[in-house]
Amino acid sequence: MNGPVGHYWFKWLDEKGPKSTLNSMLLDQLVVQPPLCALMFVLLDCFQAFLSELPKSIPRTRKVIGGVVVKSWSFWPLAVFLTIRNLKQKHHTLSLNFCSLLWTVYLSSKK
């Protein structure tokens, strides 16, 4: 899910978004990251419960999403900032997918 979304999002951000790397990172972290994080939790719960747990998934996500988003701000802003500043747009998705792998391992270890 993050691959296609990231590909088109960072392409748009590079072409039409703020020219400042800092502003691009802030836009990404404040507008796009929280809904993607919430969607990830809902989808993971759905896959784990084979869709029969969807009514339980939303309340569980609401319970943890605030803390996860705040914690993500200790990792993702730096990852996004360095990626936008140092890599060509065509490498943004690959770099951030690698960061996403690291972040997922971290979240899994905390669950």
> 3-46, pLDDT tens digit by residue?
788 788 888 988 999 999 999 999 988 998 888 888 888 877 77
* Residue the block writes with tokens 């747009």: 89
pLDDT tens across 45-90, in order? 777 766 566 677 778 778 888 888 899 999 999 999 999 999 998 8
- In Å, how far from its chain's centre is CA 94? 13
pLDDT at residue 54, rounded to an integer: 65
φ, ψ for residue 18, nearest 5 deg = -60, 145
Task: Give the pair of three-digit tokens for residue 4.
Answer: 């296609």
Residue 86: other Cβ atoms inside 10 A:
10
Provide the domain count of the chain: 1
pLDDT at residue 33, rounded to an integer: 86
Q: How many helices (H) and strands (E) are present in the chain, helices listed first?
A: 6, 0
d(CA 87, CA 27): 18
- The one-letter amino acid code at 44 reads L
Give the number of residues written for the chain: 111
Residue 17 CB-density burial (10 A; 0-12 exposed, 13-18 middle, 19+ buried): middle
What global pTM score does this model have?
Answer: 0.58
Host domain of residue 82: 2-110
